[in-house]
Structure 1
Amino acid sequence: MQITVNGSAHKVEVEEDMPLLWVLRDELKLTGTKFGCGGGFCGACTIHLDGQPVRACLTPVSFAEGKQITTVEGLSIYGDHPLQLAWIEHNVPQCGYCQSGQLMSAAALLQQTPNPDDKQIDQAMTGNLCRCGTYPRIKSAISAAAKMKAAAKIKRAAAKEGNADA
């Protein structure tokens, strides 16, 4: 079967019911997506299918065929996605194990809700567990990333209009 991951097509020869998590990690060597609980409870394996956050440990590869799969490696090849920058600025990770899932849930939130309030952040991030307890820093980083994205959008609009001073 053929799947598209981070914009690249891949032919994989696996069982149709194989969890997408193992296809990404073992077949494609994209190890940013983590195995946590195996039951979809912790969120460490969160990826995007057509922009929607899903648990890769529960998603059979056959379900992903024909859809756009985005992993944490696909957020930015240069590590300069606003969330990645905010994660660094707010010193979010401790052990770091859950962070790829946290980032992917946060990215889906900002795609759907560019300027989320605290309640929307809490709701979107429910189900992504962090055993180090970095939740306040995660929330601050998401808010900061939303502001970065808004500022970049304003700057792009000003550049488009020929106003280089904006």
Structure 2
Amino acid sequence: MAFDEKENKPKTSLGRLSRRSFLSQAGAMTAAAAVAPLASSPSPAQTAKADATPAFPGTVSVTLRVNGESHAIQIDPRATLLDTLRETIHLTGTKKGCDHGQCGACTVHVNGRRINSCLALAAMQQNAEITTIEGLGGPGKLHPMQDAFVEHDGFQCGYCTSGQIMSAVAMVKEPWGKTDGDVREAMSGNICRCGAYPNIVAAVQAVRRMS
């Protein structure tokens, strides 16, 4: 760029270029150079990294198989199986009682065994077969244990009932004795605040006699 020898100012073929114009043009060129790399297409590595990033920061991707169906979900790695079933997969038949593994209202089956879902991390159940009360039976096709609870009035308020039934179904397959006392011992982890224990025992015994 040529300079005016008298005023020592840059000039172009269009005439003299003021200091203000020169700085404005220089700033525009710098901004264009900075924006250009951002407008370019992302590299394959950048795309792969973006795809691997969870949809929500702090979550992990898990796939849970519940009642025969697979659910690909994003969850907090600290989420319990109970909260994941209720809040993420929206299977609310499993109830939250004490949330400390003391009442049994949250009982579900994992690989055929009864567990308190409030004490299990959902992220650790990815290779397991999980069954909830919804997968046991429903209107029009009740499980024999559900039928027995209805027949013997094995519930009052009903809040603990899903956990009681899930525990009872698993208990029937376990090596317990045949007496009512054995049933009470086997079901002692499930609390009924309404006190329907005699009817619950009668329902469980009715199904055991059918087996």
TM-score by length of 2: 0.67
**How far did 1:79 drift?**
4.2
Q: State whether residues 79 and 85 of structure 1, in contact with CA within 8 Å, keep that contact through their aligned partners in structure 2.
A: no
The residue that corresponds to 2:97 in the other structure is 36
Aligned with 1:110 (options 164, 168, 172): 172
**Unpaired runs of at least 5, structure 1:** 151-166
Specify the code of the residue in structure 1 equivalent to 2:144. Answer: P
SS of the residue corresponding to residue 119 of structure 2 reads coil
Aligned length: 149
Moved more, 135-144 or 121-130: 121-130
Q: State whether residues 176 and 183 of structure 2, in contact with CA within 8 Å, keep that contact through their aligned partners in structure 1.
A: no
RMSD (CA atoms):
1.5
Q: State whether residues 115 and 147 of structure 1, in contact with CA within 8 Å, keep that contact through their aligned partners in structure 2.
A: no
Q: Does 1:67 align with 2:128?
A: yes
Aligned with 1:2 (options 51, 63, 79): 63
The residue that corresponds to 2:115 in the other structure is 54
SS of the residue corresponding to residue 57 of structure 1 reads helix
SS of the residue corresponding to residue 12 of structure 1 reads strand
**Unpaired runs of at least 5, structure 2:** 1-61
The residue that corresponds to 2:137 in the other structure is 76
TM-score by length of 1: 0.84
**How far did 1:114 drift?**
8.7
Q: Distance in 2 between matches of 1:32 and 1:79?
A: 16
Q: Distance in 2 between matches of 1:18 and 1:115?
A: 37
**How far did 1:115 drift?**
7.8
